[in-house]
A and B are shown apart, each in its own frame.
Chain A
């Protein structure tokens, strides 16, 4: 395969770059809070994996109270705090780097502050306020007010970053009125705009329906409405987890393997597609009563549509990897694979994460298939699926990013590189075993979110094998995280001083065009309007026929 290298005259990324000391500390703070929460989150994950094997370990941890408290904490820490914190930190850095301008430090500080307050309050709400409502809220189950306030603060921490990005972009545009927005910043900013729009649903639910209700200011709650609002956010949140990783796969990974990024047009269209196709949440409600078929089928079509940009990403990333392998002396169709720098834990983790995303994406398409969902809905097939996507593609990539980002931010050399290079492999095989256990169990009817160690009936045929695989895989995943956290702690405490010059950023093969139809990609407001039009089309009829809220459900605390 021949690649034509076009000489491109526009400077993609500012050349001389130094991250300001205050920004460096704030971003490091976000990353540390994120991985700190993850450390607790994965420990709870281990307990859950054993639960599937029929082994209840919760009695040894009386503070946790029950499987469901642990599960709520696992979801909130690994689904909200960790990805929010990691995105806030990583995409702040890429925006600053992409635009060559500082973001307002006050907003960065506000973000870090809200993140810490939000984590603390939701932690308190779950363990001391008895809020075992899981991370999907499950109205009319009612949590302590501190839980809802904590969640609100977590969302505010992301909005602060988005605001900081937009302020900085505005400033950049004043300085460069005729230039295309630098691609790295474009991708980072669009990720947050997508999230701003998609977080509206859960934010409205949390602030206007649930928080007043938990303070006894509302007589009841509306299960269908809150469910719909939650899933309005609850699916696009997946893309908010994923897109920071795409930023790394597009921009950092090619540079790390000595390759280039394929095309500017491709990256811009991928991020715009994710922005437009926000309203897919109804596909979590295929099995729900009270939601008409129009919404379910429309969501199915849009969900298939949103698989498309991920397929494009797969193309671009593999293309870059192949280029990297070939430039390192790889021969033949697959010879380049061997030549990739597998010994670099950061590269290894991200490639393996991408590989795990393959079955993750396929099972996602299975779930999106309207009526096939009846076989899989709420079975353990689902956690099997999303541990391959968020649990591997995202988490393992963020681990990979941390292998260069933490040294970059602390100015310390990565400690124990030879140990760290095995960590991604252990995780990769762990998550594959874990997910095959969960999925095979799901097909045999094993329910998700259920304390299987305590069921009052005989496990159905095959559940025991599936549960055992889950526990084995989960243990391997946990073991690999122990290695990762050990390496990180040693790096921070005992790493040798070494200033890294710059973050890895790949150059482009096909750069942006400076005139013609492509300029429309930089008119971000057009795409936002298009997104709102689609939302109005899909959620408008539902809200018009459903509102006002039917506050008929009495609060319920299941303990």
Chain B
């Protein structure tokens, strides 16, 4: 290996190392977290997935619930081709703990211009936290393909 080659390989290694450190920093210090394994929908023998979802709290009552001072829980059930609930009002500067699942297919739950961009997968419970610091109207978009009316699966969040 000659000198030029060695220098190049070192630059490449250090560069990738710096990138990796930046991601670790953003996770540990800036607390930017991704979804992980936070519970499943248990389907009993003889039941369908749809029945089980509606018998598993909190998905028996989708909606927005106050859980403390400036703290809310948003329970979302996605199905072809709608979110339940689809239009949500959230007070400004509140932290929202989203709990979501899907009744039938894979769906996406993406609130445009926020990092809330999570997957709803049948049988799995997605948990994600976000604080809404800007007032305004946000569009919810299903961004994971879910059939012929996928593009019509949408909703709104109003923060005020």
Contact = CB atoms under 8 A, between A and B. Distances in A.
Interface of A: 1, 66, 68, 132, 134, 136, 138-141, 222-224, 227, 262-263, 265-266, 285-293, 296, 300-301, 304-305, 307-308, 311-312, 315, 365, 369-379, 444-445, 447-452, 454-457, 460, 550, 552-554, 556-559
For A372, A444, A456, A558, the residue with the greatest tally of chain B CB atoms inside 10 Å of its CB is: A558
Interface in B134-160: 139, 141-152, 154
B105 A140 contact: yes
A27 to B, nearest CB: 35
Contact of A447 (B36, B119, B143): B143
A444 B143 CA distance: 13
Interface of B: 1, 4-5, 8-9, 12-13, 16, 19-20, 22-23, 26-27, 32-38, 40-41, 43, 48-49, 52, 80, 104-106, 108, 110, 112-113, 115-127, 139, 141-152, 154
Contact of A378 (B1, B108, B115): B108
Given A138-B105, A141-B105, A141-B147, A287 B139 contact: no
A483 B126 CA distance: 48
A559 B5 contact: no
B151 A371 contact: no
Contacts of A293: 34, 36
Contact of A138 (B8, B20, B115, B145): B145
B50 to A, nearest CB: 8
B155 to A, nearest CB: 10
Nearest to B145: A449
Contacts of A304: 16, 19-20
Contacts of A371: 23, 26-27, 32-34, 115
A29 B73 CA distance: 59
B143 A379 contact: yes
Nearest to A315: B8
Contacts of B35: 287-289
A296 B36 contact: yes
B141 to A, nearest CB: 5
A99 B148 CA distance: 50
Contact of A556 (B9, B104, B108): B104
A132 B151 CA distance: 14
Contacts of B143: 377-379, 447-450
Given A311-B12, A558-B147, 19 more contacts: A68-B148, A132-B147, A136-B145, A287-B119, A288-B35, A289-B125, A369-B19, A371-B33, A372-B26, A375-B115, A377-B117, A449-B143, A455-B151, A460-B139, A550-B123, A552-B41, A556-B80, A556-B147, A558-B146
19 contacts: A68-B147, A136-B145, A138-B145, A222-B123, A286-B34, A291-B36, A293-B34, A305-B16, A315-B8, A371-B26, A371-B27, A374-B34, A447-B142, A454-B152, A460-B139, A550-B43, A553-B122, A556-B104, A558-B150
A315 B5 CA distance: 8
Contacts of A457: 139, 154
Given A307-B16, A308-B13, A447-B110, A289 B148 contact: no
Instruction: Classify the interface of chain A: helix, strand, loop or mixed.
Output: loop
Nearest to A285: B119
A553 B126 CA distance: 17
Contact of A552 (B123, B142, B150): B123
A291 B8 CA distance: 36
B130 to A, nearest CB: 10
A539 to B, nearest CB: 15
A1 B5 CA distance: 12
Given A287-B117, A293-B36, A451-B151, A308 B43 contact: no
A455 B34 contact: no
A311 B13 CA distance: 10
B106 A223 contact: yes
A375 B116 CA distance: 8
Nearest to B32: A371
Contact of A300 (B4, B23, B104): B23
Contacts of A376: 117
A447 B121 contact: no
A559 B145 CA distance: 13
Contacts of A223: 106, 121-124
Q: What 10 A-B pairs have minimum CB-CB distances, sorted nearest first?
A: A558-B147, A445-B112, A447-B143, A290-B124, A289-B126, A378-B143, A289-B124, A374-B115, A311-B12, A371-B32
B148 A378 contact: no
B108 to A, nearest CB: 5
Contacts of B125: 289
A370 B23 contact: yes
B121 A227 contact: yes
A450 B105 contact: no
A293 B34 CA distance: 8
B20 A140 contact: no
Nearest to B142: A447
B124 A224 contact: yes
For A265, A370, A447, the residue with the greatest tally of chain B CB atoms inside 10 Å of its CB is: A447
A445 B113 contact: yes
A131 B107 CA distance: 18
Contact of B43 (A290, A372, A377, A552): A552
A552 B106 contact: no
A346 to B, nearest CB: 27
Contacts of A378: 108, 110, 117, 143-144
A222 B43 CA distance: 12
Contacts of B27: 370-371
Contacts of B26: 371-372
A460 B111 CA distance: 12
A559 B146 CA distance: 11
